[in-house]
């Protein structure tokens, strides 16, 4: 195929989850429902934390940022998908594609880092309870939040600039329901070795290292909990981190499932279907997990609704 520089074309084609016309109304209704549940659930958690002064603690401030990131993550991809189904138009402009890819990476990276920060917060609270207020002081927590946001923005900006330098072919179909970095890179006719190298390096820095930190934190947490003599003390300690651990398993489990399931095939719609789990399902389930397993959130939501 003859290369074409990105300045000479103006759109990509998003093939979506299915090209069958009879499935489009079903997909529209399903994803509209999931988006509304995700938006409403996470917004209620944010409002409950803001309104209830008892929840103005580090753990719930981190949780409110996670809920905000989940709202933005789904808002980056689903509205465009719904509009394409409604308008029966699969075109996305080059600028919109790069913008969508940038914000998707910002909020995905932010999810990774916030889950790591929350794991560290639980580690300090359970393993070093007497020093918790000294270690997790407001200034340090502010630094952790600011660092998470800055790293996510810089990470996404780096990949956005790397994609901007690529030249693309005349076949510009993306087998996905949004502009995903790997899918866009596969369409390039120019050399993508540097892009791939940067992708592996940043995945190690913002993927493997945070996950290793989470696993280390929970190994120490479990070890400390097992040393507690009373069953009531063990239950109380587990309950403080159970919701977060459930979200970690859900987020990383579905994310790894996507990449493992899509590894054998390139540019396949199977990866798009699998991506629904961590880009749509996980942000939708997070509010339910924190609500069902957290008594403080339940009480705050009850006060907010009443």
Sorted by where each begins, the domain ranges of the chain are: 4-305
pLDDT at residue 268, rounded to an integer: 54
Q: Which pairing describes strands 11-14 and 91-93: parallel, antiparallel, or unpaired? A: antiparallel
pLDDT number for residue 259: 60
Q: What is the reported pLDDT for 264? A: 43
pLDDT tens string, the chain, 306 residues long: the values are: 444 444 456 789 998 888 788 889 999 999 999 999 999 999 999 999 999 888 898 889 999 999 999 999 999 999 999 999 998 888 999 899 999 999 999 999 999 999 999 999 999 988 998 999 999 999 999 999 999 999 999 999 999 999 988 888 776 888 889 998 888 888 888 888 999 999 888 888 887 888 899 999 999 988 888 887 777 777 777 777 777 888 888 888 777 766 655 444 444 556 677 788 878 988 998 888 888 777 888 888 888 887
Contact status, residue 67 vs residue 45, Cβ threshold 8 Å: yes
- Do the beta carbons of residue 175 and residue 270 sit within 8 Å? no
As a whole number of angstroms, the distance between CA 153 and CA 278 comes to 20
Task: Give the per-residue pLDDT at 165.
Answer: 87
Query: What's residue 171's pLDDT?
Result: 67
Which H, E and C letters describe the chain, residue by residue? CCCEEHHHCCEEEECCCCCCHHHHHHHHHHHHHHHHHHHHHHHHHHHHHHHCHHHCCHHHHHHHHHHHHHHHHHHHHHHHHHHHHHHCCCEEEHHHHHHHHHHHHHHHHHHHHHHHHHHHHHHHHHHCHHHHHHHCCHHHHHHHHHHHHHHHHHHHHHHHHHHHCCEECCCCEECCCCCCHHHHHHCECCCCHHHHHHHHHHHHHHHHHHHHHHHHHHHHHHHHHHCCCCHHHHHHHHHHHHHHHHHHHHHHHHHHHHHHHHCCCCCCHHHHHHHHHHHHHHHHHHHHHHHHHCHHHHHHHHHHHC
Q: Which two tokens stand for residue 171?
A: 């076949």
**pTM to 2 decimal places:** 0.89
pLDDT of residue 261: 53
Pick the CATH number of 4-305 from 1.10.3720.10, 1.10.10.10, 1.20.1070.10, 2.70.150.10: 1.20.1070.10
Distance, first Cα to last Cα, the chain: 62
**Residue 67 has what pLDDT?**
95
């Amino acid at each position: 195929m003859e290369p074409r520089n990105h300045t000479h074309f103006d759109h990509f084609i998003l093939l979506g989850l299915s090209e069958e016309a009879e499935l489009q109304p079903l997909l529209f209704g399903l994803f509209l429902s999931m988006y509304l549940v995700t938006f409403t659930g996470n917004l209620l958690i944010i409002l409950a934390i803001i309104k209830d002064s008892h929840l103005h603690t580090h753990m719930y401030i981190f949780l409110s940022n996670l809920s905000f990131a989940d709202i933005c993550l789904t808002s980056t991809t689903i509205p465009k998908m719904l509009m394409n189904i409604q308008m029966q138009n699969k075109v996305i402009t080059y600028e919109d594609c790069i913008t969508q890819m940038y914000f998707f990476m910002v909020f995905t990276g932010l999810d990774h880092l916030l889950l790591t920060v929350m794991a560290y917060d639980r580690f300090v609270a359970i393993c070093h309870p007497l020093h918790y207020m000294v270690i997790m002081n407001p200034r340090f927590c502010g630094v952790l939040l600011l660092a998470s946001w800055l790293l996510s923005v810089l990470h996404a900006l780096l990949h956005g600039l790397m994609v901007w330098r690529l030249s693309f072919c005349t076949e510009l179909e993306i087998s996905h329901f949004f502009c995903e970095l790997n899918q866009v890179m596969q369409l390039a006719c120019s050399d993508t070795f540097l892009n791939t190298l940067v992708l592996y390096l940043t995945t190690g820095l913002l993927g493997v290292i945070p996950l290793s930190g989470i696993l280390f934190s929970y190994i120490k947490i479990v070890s400390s909990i097992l040393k507690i003599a009373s069953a009531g003390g063990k239950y109380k300690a587990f309950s403080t981190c159970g919701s977060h651990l459930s979200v970690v398993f859900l987020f990383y489990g579905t994310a790894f499932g996507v990449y493992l399931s899509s590894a054998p095939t390139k540019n396949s719609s199977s990866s798009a279907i699998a991506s629904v789990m961590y880009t749509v399902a996980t942000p939708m389930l997070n509010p339910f997990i924190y609500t069902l397993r957290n008594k403080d959130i339940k009480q705050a939501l009850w006060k907010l609704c009443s």
